[in-house]
Structure 1
Amino acid sequence: MTMNLNERQQQLMTMLESTGEVKVAGLKETFGVTEMTIRRDLEKLEHAGYVKRTFGGAILASKDATLQDRSVVMTDEKNRIGRAAASLVQENDSIFIDGGTTTLYVARHLKPGMNITVVTNALNIALELLEKRITTVVTGGMALETTSTLVGPATVDSIGRMAFDRVFLGATGVSAKHGFSNSNMYEAEIKRIAIAHAAEVNVVVDHTKFGAKELFSFGSLDAVHRIVCDQEPEESLLAACKENNVELLAATE
């Protein structure tokens, strides 16, 4: 959809393309307008398909964005999340890590030479683990160029034959009503199978995913044990997590 943008909205898009994320509070000060004006701008940009609104701001709307595009967004937050998630892994664990830029940081923070077995459907994560001398099992499947992940019936069949002590999954959206969702139906299917075969389920997301929802849901809130994030969500989602006994591990530092 094409839409005429005023000068402020064009500047908003330039900021988003540069940083990947904007906040309403900061934009209000930058442009010297009311919060309602900024929210209307973001609503217009979202309607045009340019952005995706989040709690307190917006991010670029990039359905199935390439791994390279997503890897430069929220890197500090993802690094903190990855470190916190990796600290949950114990010796002798059998774990599954699915594809994604946040889950890649989980792999990066695993200690070299750990006595664990990691199953993954992500080629870049497998390479990361091999360099750490960690026993790695790569699923079969069809490779997706945009995400470096393996998907499809062969992947589902492979994961369905395993049992994991814990799994680490990424998500494109987390909401009280729709639970955990992803923009790619093949990857959502992998996540559902992994959840069904795990003793402990961890979802790793940065705060921009809170309140967002995608077409393909892969689990309700009560399907997971823990959300590892960089900051707690807004009150309504926080309350929903507590009601569903979902632990929130916020890696703020």
Structure 2
Amino acid sequence: MKQSIRHQKIVELVKLQGYISTDELVTLLNVSPQTIRRDLNELAENNLIRRHHGGAASPSSAENSDYSERKLFFSLEKNHIAQAVSRLIPNGSSLFIDIGTTSEAVANALLGHQNLRIVTNNLNAAHILMKNDTFKITVAGGSLRQDGGIIGEATVNFISQFRLDYGILGISSIDLDGSLLDYDYHEVQVKRAIMESSRETVLVTDHSKFSRQAIVKLASVTDVDYLFTDQEPPKSIMELIHNSSVELRVCK
């Protein structure tokens, strides 16, 4: 395969998935690891990708991917995570469901439950959940984004009035020092309110978030009660989890 064609395919895969590992590229493109590493270095120099140890990600760290693209990223992995989270939540529980495509996958996985009381700032999740007529669903007020998320000071104030059993929380990035990061300052304020108003915080994230970069800090991974993901996190994060009370669940 010509180098120019490989480069085009790599850029397309990174755009579609958000992150792709060197091993995956070696298998998909049928070339040596050394060739892929050279390709990634060259693409990174031209700002077509962002180089990571072990793979490549989208070059932008200042804004999130388009919602329609994010729904496609690691959809199978998100469904595995969602099914595992649904097994944690008992019938009759109360919970927040946050903005994000993984949170929406959790909403879908919860449809077999009974008598859940749900507060959400995610219109897409609310639309999914309303299929179950035993659920009591409350939607937070605030400013509506194009992806169906509701954010703003009114959203924070509304959520802060509740005390619920679980907070289902997504995140855009987890740094190697354990920092939970997102792109939107206003969204982070809502996430923080959900954490403060939940008896237990459940963080749901696929493995690509361990290699992305965002700019607004929410908290540390050690501030959540559960971390549901589809692959074991990097070593530095595993050490943080090992020395904390966080319960890690790797969903395959």
Same fold (TM over 0.5): yes
Structure 1 gap segments, 5+ residues each: 1-5
Query: Is contact 1:43-1:53 (8 Å) kept?
Result: yes
Cα distance, 1:211 vs structure 2? 4.0
Q: Which residue of 1 aligns with 2:143?
A: 142
Residue-by-residue CA offset, 1:150-208 (whole Å, 9 max, x unaligned): 00011010011111111011111113425211112111111111111111001100011
Cα distance, 1:122 vs structure 2? 0.5
Q: Please give the alpha-carbon distance, in whole angstroms, between the structure 1 residues aligned to 2:138 and 2:195.
A: 18
Structure 2 gap segments, 5+ residues each: none
Residue-by-residue CA offset, 1:185-243 (whole Å, 9 max, x unaligned): 11111111111111100110001111433101111122101111112112222122111
- 1:216 and 2:216 equivalent? yes
Summarize the alignment of residues 148-167 of structure 1 with structure 2, pairs less than 5 Å apart. Answer: 148-167=148-167
* Alpha-carbon spacing, 1:185–1:33, altered in 2? closer, same or farther (3 Å): same
Q: Which residue of 2 aligns with 1:59?
A: 57
* Matched letter for residue 92 of structure 1: G
Cα distance, 1:42 vs structure 2? 3.1
Q: Which residue of 1 aligns with 2:109?
A: 109
Q: Please give the alpha-carbon distance, in whole angstroms, between the structure 2 residues aligned to 1:180 and 1:17.
A: 22
Q: Which residue of 1 aligns with 2:76?
A: 76
Secondary structure at 1:115's aligned position in 2?
Answer: coil
* Alpha-carbon spacing, 1:127–1:45, altered in 2? closer, same or farther (3 Å): same
What do you get for the CA RMSD once the two structures are aligned? Answer: 2.2
Q: Which residue of 2 aligns with 1:131?
A: 131
Cα distance, 1:48 vs structure 2? 4.9
Q: Which residue of 2 aligns with 1:22?
A: 20
Summarize the alignment of residues 190-229 of structure 1 with structure 2, pairs less than 5 Å apart. Answer: 190-229=190-229
Query: Is contact 2:117-2:136 (8 Å) kept?
Result: yes
* Alpha-carbon spacing, 1:80–1:118, altered in 2? closer, same or farther (3 Å): same
Cα distance, 1:250 vs structure 2? 0.9
Q: Please give the alpha-carbon distance, in whole angstroms, between the structure 2 residues aligned to 1:34 and 1:80.
A: 29
* Alpha-carbon spacing, 1:58–1:171, altered in 2? closer, same or farther (3 Å): same
Q: Which residue of 2 aligns with 1:3?
A: none
Q: How many residues align?
A: 245
Q: Which residue of 2 aligns with 1:42?
A: 40
Query: Is contact 1:203-1:224 (8 Å) kept?
Result: yes
Q: Which residue of 1 aligns with 2:7?
A: 9
User: Is 233-242 or 217-226 further displaced after alignment?
Assistant: 233-242
Residue-by-residue CA offset, 1:127-146 (whole Å, 9 max, x unaligned): 1111122210000000011x
Q: Please give the alpha-carbon distance, in whole angstroms, between the structure 1 residues aligned to 2:113 and 2:20.
A: 39
User: Is 174-183 or 97-106 further displaced after alignment?
Assistant: 174-183
Residue-by-residue CA offset, 1:73-113 (whole Å, 9 max, x unaligned): 11100000111111111122110010111000100011346
Query: Is contact 2:57-2:211 (8 Å) kept?
Result: no
Secondary structure at 2:110's aligned position in 1?
Answer: coil
* Identical counterparts, % of pairs: 29
User: Is 176-185 or 68-77 further displaced after alignment?
Assistant: 176-185
Query: Is contact 1:9-1:41 (8 Å) kept?
Result: yes
Secondary structure at 1:109's aligned position in 2?
Answer: helix
* Matched letter for residue 139 of structure 2: V
User: Is 211-220 or 223-232 further displaced after alignment?
Assistant: 211-220
TM-score normalised over the length of structure 2: 0.87
* Alpha-carbon spacing, 1:93–1:15, altered in 2? closer, same or farther (3 Å): closer
* Matched letter for residue 12 of structure 1: I
* Matched letter for residue 160 of structure 1: S
Query: Is contact 2:18-2:208 (8 Å) kept?
Result: no
Q: Please give the alpha-carbon distance, in whole angstroms, between the structure 2 residues aligned to 1:40 and 1:186.
A: 39
Query: Is contact 1:176-1:240 (8 Å) kept?
Result: no
* Alpha-carbon spacing, 1:66–1:11, altered in 2? closer, same or farther (3 Å): closer
* Alpha-carbon spacing, 1:182–1:158, altered in 2? closer, same or farther (3 Å): same
User: Is 89-98 or 24-33 further displaced after alignment?
Assistant: 24-33
TM-score normalised over the length of structure 1: 0.87
